[in-house]
Amino acid sequence: MALFSRRQFLAAAAATLSAPALLRAGESPRVATLDWALLETLLAIGANVVAGTELRQFREVAVTPVARDDIADLGLRGTPNFEALRFVRPDLIFNSNFYAWADARMRPIAPVESHAIYKPGESPYALAEQATLAIGERLQLAAARQLAEELSGRLDRCRATFAAGDGRPLIPINLGDSRHFRVFGSDSMFGEVLKRVGLTNAWQGATSYSAAAPVGIETLASMPDAWIVMIPPHPADALAALSTSAFWNALPAVREKRVLVLGSINPYGALPAAMRFADLLREGLAHAWNG
C-alpha cells in the first residue's frame, strides 16, 4: 500500500484548508467580512457570521447588533490575519471598497463579494439599503428587507416626533481631544438620518468621506442656535477637560443645556447604525424638550 510522503500530506492539508466548506442541506453559508458596516448588517439580518475584525472594539463602538463570542477575530481591519480567515473556512466573504486591496488575498480562501456604502458624492443611506437587500437576497434572508422597512417606518415616526420640537439645527460631532472634534456632514449616515427625519444639520461645510477633522472647538461659537450632539466614543480626558473649560462653558448651547451626549455608534455604519442614531436622538431630544 502506497503511503503519502510528507510533501504530499502537506499539500493535501493545504488544499483542504483553502477550499470553502461544503454546505449541508439547510445550512446557512458561513460568511466573513473585514468591514464593520457590513458586519453590523450581516449580524442584524441573522447571517451565519464566522469571522470579523477588531471585534472587541466593534462591541464597544457599534454596541448593537451584538457580535457573538464565537465569531473569530481576524485582528486589525488594516492588517487582518488571513491565516485565521482561512482556518474558519468561510463559504463567502463580503468586502467593501475600503478594503478592496485585500480581495486578491481572500479569493483563494472563498468567493469575495463587494458592497460599497461610503462613496464620495453618493448617499450612504441609499447604498446601505441597496447592500442590505442584495446581501439578504444572496443569503436568502428575509430579515434584510424587514430591516430596511422597519428603519424606514421608524424614521417616519421620528419625523412626527421631531416636528413638535424646537426647530433648532443640530451639529453631530465626535471629540478628538478637548480642543478639536470631527463633524459629520450631510454625506454621513448621521447627516442622512437628520435629513430624513426633518432636522437640519448645522454643519454646512465640506466633508471628506462623511466627516471633517480636525475642527477647532472654537467653531461651535459660530452656531449659537444649534444643539450640540456628541457621539462617542470620546477620549475620557477630553470630556474631563471640557467640563472645566471656560470657553466651552460660555457657549450658548452649553449654558442653555442644549448638549446631548448619545451612546456610542459606529460612525461609518450601515442601516443598524442609522437606526441606533435615530433611536438615541429621539430619546435624547424628547427628554430634553419635556424635561
Q: What per-residue confidence (pLDDT) applies to 71?
A: 98
Do 71 and 172 belong together in one domain? no
Q: Which of 115, 139, 171 is the last residue of a domain?
A: 115
Q: Is residue 126 part of a domain?
A: no
User: pLDDT tens digits for the chain (291 residues)?
Assistant: 344 444 444 443 444 444 444 444 457 899 999 999 999 999 999 999 999 999 999 999 999 999 999 999 999 999 999 999 999 999 999 999 999 999 999 999 999 999 999 998 899 999 999 999 999 999 999 999 999 999 999 999 999 999 999 999 999 999 999 999 999 999 999 999 999 999 999 998 878 767 778 899 999 999 999 999 999 999 989 989 999 999 999 999 999 999 999 999 999 999 999 999 999 999 999 989 886
Do 164 and 245 belong together in one domain? yes
Q: Look at residues 132, 158, 112, 151 and name the one whose alpha carbon lies nearest to residue 283.
A: 158
Q: Which of 115, 139, 164 is the last residue of a domain?
A: 115
Q: Is residue 65 part of a domain?
A: yes
Do 89 and 210 belong together in one domain? no
Do 175 and 268 belong together in one domain? yes
Do 253 and 184 belong together in one domain? yes
Residue listed under C-alpha cell 477620549: 235
Q: How does pLDDT run across 84-116, given as a tens digit for each residue? A: 999 999 999 999 999 999 999 999 999 999 999
pTM: 0.89
Number of residues that this document lists for the chain: 291
Distance CA(6)–CA(60), nearest Å, equals 45
Do 154 and 274 belong together in one domain? yes
Q: Is residue 5 part of a domain?
A: no
Distance CA(35)–CA(61), nearest Å, equals 14
- CATH code for position 64: 3.40.50.1980
Do 109 and 159 belong together in one domain? no
Do 53 and 170 belong together in one domain? no
Do 276 and 190 belong together in one domain? yes
Do 75 and 175 belong together in one domain? no
Q: What per-residue confidence (pLDDT) applies to 252?
A: 97
Q: Which domain holds residue 75?
A: 10-20+28-115
Q: Is residue 35 part of a domain?
A: yes
Instruction: List, as one string, the DSSP characters of 54-97.
Output: SHHHHHHHT-SSPPPTTSEE---SSS--HHHHHHH--SEEEE-G
Q: How many domains does the chain have?
A: 2
Q: Is residue 51 part of a domain?
A: yes
CA 176 to chain centre: 18
Do 79 and 197 belong together in one domain? no
Do 175 and 103 belong together in one domain? no
Q: What per-residue confidence (pLDDT) applies to 291?
A: 67
